[in-house]
Amino acid sequence: MKILIPGGDGFCGWATALHLSARGHAVHLVDNLSRRKIDIELGVDSLTPIAPLRNRLAAWRELTGRQIEWTDLDAARDYDALERLIRDWRPDAVVHFAEQRSAPYSMKSAATKRYTLENNLSATQNLLCALVETGIDAHLVHLGTMGVYGYGGGMRIPEGYLTIQAEASDGGRLEREILFPPDPGSVYHMTKTQDQLLFYFYNKNDGIRITDLHQGVVWGTQTRETRLDERLINRFDYDGDYGTVLNRFLMQAAVGYPLTVHGSGGQTRAFIHIQDSVRCIEMALTHPPATSERVRIFNQMTETHRVADLARIVAELTGAEIAYLDNPRKEADANDLAADARCLIDLGLQPTTLRTGLLEEIVEIGQRYRERCDRDRIPCTSQWTRMPAAARVDRR
């Protein structure tokens, strides 16, 4: 297959690009390096020493003989160049990672809220428009988030669609499947819920074939391919904005910093290892929806854990202490999370579990690169709301 990967220099995109190239697919990245520029803006760096994208690509070619191409363009702003690239290169599939993906960064200021919304929605809209305009029948696979469901409000979360019963216009009863009601918890998550509507519309109106992968928090760093050489190493974010909860704990344990649990730690989250994430994307690509099929939605997660339990597991493995801090997010102090995630298992996924992969990650990444950690960058400084606590309403 010819696979275009917008966002292919990022954490998930780079690992996916190598995985697909290693399996013989032709891979072309689109990335404007905005993530690396945000590192500079925030004064942070990946814990792992990521090579410049050109060096990464040259190393991959030297080691495997395989070539991955790269076009440096902004998928949200350079529409004409994007359309030209799609027309000329004629991809069979597009795997879309090109969005600003940190919830805390999206809540930092008016500027980051506006950037996140404009960047994410325009990148998605531009890719869809370019497929319509060029008439190229490529399968669009998008990386969405389990966060669009708002943790389900006590309901078991289905894979995308909820069956409802309603009164029919003739007074009878009817049954329909509708998109699960979105309940975003940040501007970032709001862009993902709006992506869903863009997909719904372009699928209905133009027949674009789309798979939306509602992914859990990705943990781990390396995959079979990124381990081949240090020039291919994947990024590892640990700072207060981009460090996702488990990766943050792993690094904190390695540098002797207390594991920072926000609030009571009663929040339950869905997780998936990076190696499983790239395999899921490959499975979604090799099982595309039919032409007339509605948007296909898979929950891409393999296990759920409470944040406090995760901290306890990492503390037991490493002897680290746990520190409970005020929660900067406006969210319920504790939530249950029960979600269906059968589709990818039915396609053959055999998950890496936390119990088997965690220790390796602590040694291979956390301890090996701990000298590169800037401890001042660990706390999360974004605040979700200016509303006084007494005036807040929990709408769940």
For ligand NAD, the closer of residues 96 and 139 by Cβ is 96
Report the alpha-carbon distance of residue 14 to residue 234 in Å, rounded: 7
Contact status: 281 vs ligand NAD (CB under 6 A): no
From the candidates 71, 145, 193, 260, which is the catalytic residue? 145
- Rounded-to-integer distance, Cα 366 and Cα 372, Å: 10
Q: How far is the CB of 169 from ligand NAD (least distance, A)?
A: 39
Catalytic residue among 188, 242, 257, 369: 188
188: annotated active-site residue? yes
Q: Is 192 a catalytic residue?
A: yes
* Least Å from the CB of residue 319 to ligand NAD: 26
Q: For residue 313, state whether it binds ligand NAD (rule: CB under 6 A).
A: no
Considering only the stretches 25-33, 39-47, 306-314, 376-384, report the one whose residues sit in contact with ligand NAD under the rule CB under 6 A. 25-33
* Binding flag, residue 108, ligand NAD (CB under 6 A): no
34 contributes a contact to ligand NAD by CB under 6 A? yes
In the bound complex, which residue of the shown chain has the CB atom lying closest to ligand NAD? 10
Token digits of residue 253: 């344990």
| Residue 66 C-beta: closest distance to ligand NAD, Å | 20
Q: Could you tell me the smallest distance in angstroms from the CB atom of residue 175 to ligand NAD?
A: 31
Would you say 179 or 390 has its CB closer to ligand NAD? 179
**Contacting ligand NAD (CB under 6 A), which of 3, 4, 5, 6?**
6
Q: Annotated catalytic, 257?
A: no
- Of 98-106, 151-159, 342-350, 380-388, the segment contacting ligand NAD by CB under 6 A is 98-106
Of residues 101, 279, 296, 329, which one binds ligand NAD by CB under 6 A?
101
Among 116, 244, 318, 327, binds ligand NAD (CB under 6 A): 244
Catalytic residue (one of 151, 192, 257, 302): 192
- Hey, how many other C-beta atoms are within 10 angstroms of the C-beta on 357? 17
Q: Residue 332 CA to chain centroid, in angstroms?
A: 22
- Footprint of ligand NAD (CB under 6 A): 6-7, 9-13, 30-35, 74-76, 97-99, 101, 119, 123, 143, 145, 215, 217-218, 244
Return the active site residues. 145, 188, 192
